Structure 1
Amino acid sequence: MTSKHRIQTPKNAPTPPPETAAIYLRVSTEEQADEGFGLDVQRTQTSAYATAFGLTLVGEYADEGVSGTKGIGERPQLAAAIQAAKAGHYKTLIVPAIDRLARRVSLLLQIWDELEAAGVTIVLVKERIDTSTAVGRLMRTVIAAIAEFERDNIVARTTDGRNARGKLDGEKGGRVPYGYVRNGSIEIEPTKAAVVRRIFALHRRRFSLAEICAQLNEDRVPTPQGGVTWYPATLRIILKNKPIYLGGKRGESEVCWPAIL
């Protein structure tokens, strides 16, 4: 007669330790001000997820004021999170939303590959995606593609708007030539404009670029960058702007620069 033996778990057997997890947070300066999705909010969301699913948090990594388009090497805390994953410090990385991790598909896939190679699962709280599953892996790629598409559309709309305004009044943003200041509209900055006139006056008198630099340096005239050492290359840029200083048209518009010369 064959006897059957039941395998029983000892009463004093230790309870398996809970799975370890870390959280990754990211916010850019603009998002902090405009979207109300600051680090505190992200921290609350990810911590709540860890508690709900019995995960033990062993690390937090937060990149502040860094764009989601930046690579791993340009995001110190993301790099640290990946390094910790490779060292086996945690098994799940909890992220509040997919765009906190990356705003480009290629970058997202790179981060995913690095973490997967280290045996780490990514959880995206907002999208309710657990990338340890096949469905999660598929959704991760699809949502990242949508996020990139939306971002490209925003960039295109912004560019179109700037181009339209450029045709209207020549204003597309960016740095204005030395001698001007943007104050709602383009205006002449008197102190710098005087330097422009001095440079052109010396140039008309056939002073060499080196001689003009020497005079400006001797008088410790601030350079366009705020220093006190002028170089011929800087003067060449100013001299090439002569049509602007004469009150030429701004871009594709009929609006003219305020004349300095």
Structure 2
Amino acid sequence: MTAPRRRRRSRSADAPVRAIGYVRVSTGGQVESGAGLDAQRAALVERADREGWDLEVVADEGLSAKTVDDRPELVAALARLDAGDADVLVAAKLDRVSRSVADFARLLERASTRGWRLVLLDLGVDTSTPAGEFVANTIANSAQYERRLIGQRTREGLAAKRAQGVRLGRPSSLPSDVVARIVREHAAGASLRGLATTLTAEDVPTAQGGVRWYPSTVRAVLHSQQAADLAPTT
């Protein structure tokens, strides 16, 4: 059930709109250069000047957190908006606020029920209008759809390569004598489990430096390119 819309604190009709501008960069290099933050701040100040807003800018610097809850300055800004201490959250780009459709949808619902506005400059969106809210939802869902399509194409491409016999993943880094031994002893009748037990007991490291072998680990070696290269040619 949708929460009831919270009433805002009464204010003078001629009081300026109180806006919190939110900027974020995700890498230390961007923080040091200042380029990303400066560009975002300039865009927010320009919009605030045009609208006559009373603007305060807050920043999460060097954070690549995926959700709203992992960004402390944004969390604090949202609490102030919910409490009626500010009227608008404005960001230069949607991905500065959220990259998750579910997260962004919750943010839109929160703005609606608590009575504050979300403005995204790159989309020309202002959620105080039905059209603005519709556009925000549509673009967020489109972005998620595109990410899922990319994921599906990647999986299909990998499946096609496997079907063609292309070996994928990190190559084995086992010494050639260990590979030769596994191939030789398995050909002589040693089981996968027996080989795994013996190699573990002898403290032979796995390809990734592990200390324990499993039947699946031995099977992977037998199907590796190293093992194939040891096969005699005719």
The alignment status of 1:240 with 2:216, answered yes or no, reads yes
Cα deviation digits, residues 235-254 of structure 1 (max 9, x gap): 144x53112223x1xxxxxx
Q: Answer yes or no: is the 8 Å Cα contact 2:196–2:213 preserved in 1.
A: no
Cα deviation digits, residues 114-136 of structure 1 (max 9, x gap): 23333321111011111111221
The alignment status of 1:78 with 2:78, answered yes or no, reads no
The Cα RMSD (Å) is: 4.0
C-alpha displacement at 1:187, in angstroms? 5.6
Q: 1:105 to 1:243 in 2, by over 3 A?
A: closer
Q: C-alpha distance in 1, partners of 2:206/2:217?
A: 19
Matches within 5 A, 1:1-261: 16-28=14-26, 38-62=36-60, 64-66=62-64, 70-168=66-164, 169-171=166-168, 173=169, 176=170, 186=171, 188=173, 190=175, 224=208, 235-237=212-214, 239-246=215-222, 248=223, 256-259=224-227
User: One-letter code of the match for 1:50?
Assistant: A
Q: Answer yes or no: is the 8 Å Cα contact 1:82–1:115 preserved in 2.
A: no
Q: Secondary structure at the match of 2:226?
A: coil
Q: Secondary structure at the match of 1:241?
A: helix
Q: Secondary structure at the match of 1:94?
A: strand
Q: C-alpha distance in 2, partners of 1:240/1:206?
A: 12
C-alpha displacement at 1:94, in angstroms? 0.6
C-alpha displacement at 1:81, in angstroms? 2.6
Q: 1:66 to 1:170 in 2, by over 3 A?
A: same
Q: Answer yes or no: is the 8 Å Cα contact 2:22–2:91 preserved in 1.
A: yes
Q: Secondary structure at the match of 1:155?
A: helix
Q: C-alpha distance in 2, partners of 1:39/1:160?
A: 38
Structure number with the higher helix fraction is: 2
Cα deviation digits, residues 48-83 of structure 1 (max 9, x gap): 22222222222313364526xx33334444323322
Q: 1:96 to 1:244 in 2, by over 3 A?
A: same
Segments of structure 1 that go 5 or more residues without pairing to the other structure are: 1-13, 177-185, 249-255
Q: Answer yes or no: is the 8 Å Cα contact 1:123–1:131 preserved in 2.
A: yes
Cα deviation digits, residues 78-128 of structure 1 (max 9, x gap): 323322322434211112223333334332220122233333211110111
Larger RCO of the pair (alpha carbons < 8 Å, separation 6+): 2
Q: Answer yes or no: is the 8 Å Cα contact 1:22–1:57 preserved in 2.
A: yes
Q: 1:46 to 1:165 in 2, by over 3 A?
A: farther
TM-score by length of 2: 0.65
Q: Answer yes or no: is the 8 Å Cα contact 1:21–1:92 preserved in 2.
A: yes
Q: C-alpha distance in 2, partners of 1:56/1:195?
A: 70
User: One-letter code of the match for 1:138?
Assistant: F
Q: Secondary structure at the match of 1:258?
A: helix
User: One-letter code of the match for 2:226?
Assistant: P
Cα deviation digits, residues 145-169 of structure 1 (max 9, x gap): 2222222222223333333334442
Q: Secondary structure at the match of 2:58?
A: strand
Segments of structure 2 that go 5 or more residues without pairing to the other structure are: 1-11, 186-193
Aligned residues between the structures: 202
